[in-house]
């Protein structure tokens, strides 16, 4: 085990797979010589050469289109989109081509590629560098959507994503790139997709969150513990495929549910989780389902601290479940 930041866990996962499989290659805007805007790929070009880690033109559509072609013909590309906010010029390639290739070809072709992209707020990036657009991809059949929240999971989930035969959206919470540290297994470490984890055990209320929101929810749980409330935190790890069982089992135990996410509240993925619980476990509920999320506005620059869920808002959301 080695102490690493979340960013270092991602880099270690890339190095592990590039060492073990020469079909894996990394490319995108500034990922080669400069090591990426966040320096996530720093050193990879020196280690593996310019043919396996290289810079591209500033064309998201071109980056993803080229990656699809590479994947169809046997490589395992890991393209990086510099910020998730910049991904929309490539949206047609992702949704209409990568996600549908297996289906349109009757299973003859697959697209084993991982699209890495930093997402979410926390760096005062404003509305062009802070969006949380996971639902654009969870709503697209054929894509898998992964969001790590610990350094060990960042490595393990990335390794599993690269080995997967279908396209994966790997959303990296930039807010905790360097602020979150943890022990990471050395060498081989694969965390299976579709298997969630209990980030904190509790008995009185289930909180489902992902990415940078896990840390916020843990602080809220500590605050509520002072008043005798025991909060369980579920981290799905992958939004698609979703580990419904771990969520339902937790809600059946606690009788309450709060979903916490950075994206705008309306149509956020937390609403999907609420619908699943309402359909499959409503008889276990002892209070209303509550969503704590961003607001239905463009992501602000000056008011980032108000827009993003914080400990106070999460605590207040959990307390609402006890007022029924």
Greatest C-alpha distance within the chain: 61
**Does 139 participate in catalysis according to the annotation?**
no
Domain count, the chain: 2
Residues 144 and 234 in one domain: no
Q: Given this model, what pLDDT does residue 305 score?
A: 87
Q: What is the pLDDT of residues 103-135, one digit of tens each?
A: 999 999 999 999 999 999 988 888 889 999 999
Q: Given this model, what pLDDT does residue 323 score?
A: 86
Output the domain CATH number for residue 130.
3.40.50.970
Residues 225 and 88 in one domain: no
Residues 36 and 130 in one domain: yes
Q: What is the pLDDT of residues 193-231, one digit of tens each?
A: 999 999 999 999 999 999 999 999 999 999 999 999 999
Residue 191 in domain: no
Residues 167 and 75 in one domain: yes
Token digits of residue 74 = 């046997």
Residues 210 and 281 in one domain: yes
pLDDT band at 245 (very low <50, low <70, confident <90, very high): very high
Q: Given this model, what pLDDT does residue 301 score?
A: 83
In terms of pLDDT, which residue wins out, 298 or 278? 278
Residues 159 and 80 in one domain: yes
Distance CA 133, CA 145 (A): 11
Q: Facing residues of 107 across strands? A: none
Domain interval for residue 217: 197-320
313 membership: H or E segment, kind and range: helix 311-320
Q: Given this model, what pLDDT does residue 302 score?
A: 83
Residues 248 and 220 in one domain: yes
Residues 260 and 137 in one domain: no
Candidate list 129, 136, 139, 189, residue with the active-site label: 129
Asked which of 151, 184, 217 is the last residue of a domain, the reply is 184
Residue 139 in domain: yes
Q: Given this model, what pLDDT does residue 92 score?
A: 97
Residue 214 in domain: yes
Residues 180 and 204 in one domain: no
229 membership: H or E segment, kind and range: none
Q: Given this model, what pLDDT does residue 127 score?
A: 86
Question: 324 pLDDT exceeds 80?
Answer: no
Residue 190 in domain: no
175 membership: H or E segment, kind and range: none
């Amino acid at each position: 085990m080695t102490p690493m930041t979340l960013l270092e866990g991602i880099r270690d996962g890339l190095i592990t797979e590039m060492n073990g499989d020469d079909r894996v290659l990394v490319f995108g805007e500034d990922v080669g010589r400069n090591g990426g805007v966040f320096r996530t790929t720093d050193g990879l070009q020196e280690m593996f050469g310019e043919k396996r880690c290289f810079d591209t033109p500033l064309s998201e559509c071109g980056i993803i289109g080229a990656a699809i072609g590479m994947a169809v013909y046997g490589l395992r590309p890991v393209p990086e989109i510099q910020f998730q906010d910049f991904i929309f010029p490539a949206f047609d390639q992702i949704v209409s081509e990568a996600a549908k290739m297996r289906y349109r070809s009757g299973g003859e072709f697959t697209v084993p590629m991982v699209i890495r992209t930093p997402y979410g707020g926390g760096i005062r990036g404003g509305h062009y560098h802070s969006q949380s657009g996971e639902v654009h991809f969870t709503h697209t059949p054929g894509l898998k959507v992964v969001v790590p929240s610990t350094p060990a999971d960042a490595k393990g989930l990335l390794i599993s994503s690269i080995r997967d035969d279908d396209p994966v959206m790997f959303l990296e919470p930039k807010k905790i790139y360097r602020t979150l540290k943890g022990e990471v297994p050395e060498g081989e470490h694969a965390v299976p997709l579709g298997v969630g984890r209990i980030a904190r055990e509790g008995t009185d209320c289930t909180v489902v969150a992902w990415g940078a929101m896990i840390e916020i929810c843990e602080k809220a749980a500590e605050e509520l513990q002072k008043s005798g409330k025991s909060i369980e935190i579920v981290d799905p790890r992958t939004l698609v495929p979703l580990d419904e069982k771990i969520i339902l089992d937790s809600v059946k135990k606690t009788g309450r549910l709060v979903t916490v996410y950075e994206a705008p509240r309306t149509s956020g993925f937390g609403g999907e989780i609420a619908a699943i619980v309402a359909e499959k476990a409503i008889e276990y509920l002892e209070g209303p389902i509550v969503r704590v999320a961003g607001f239905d506005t463009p992501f602000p620059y000056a008011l980032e601290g108000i827009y993003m869920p914080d400990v106070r808002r999460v605590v207040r959301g959990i307390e609402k479940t006890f007022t029924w």
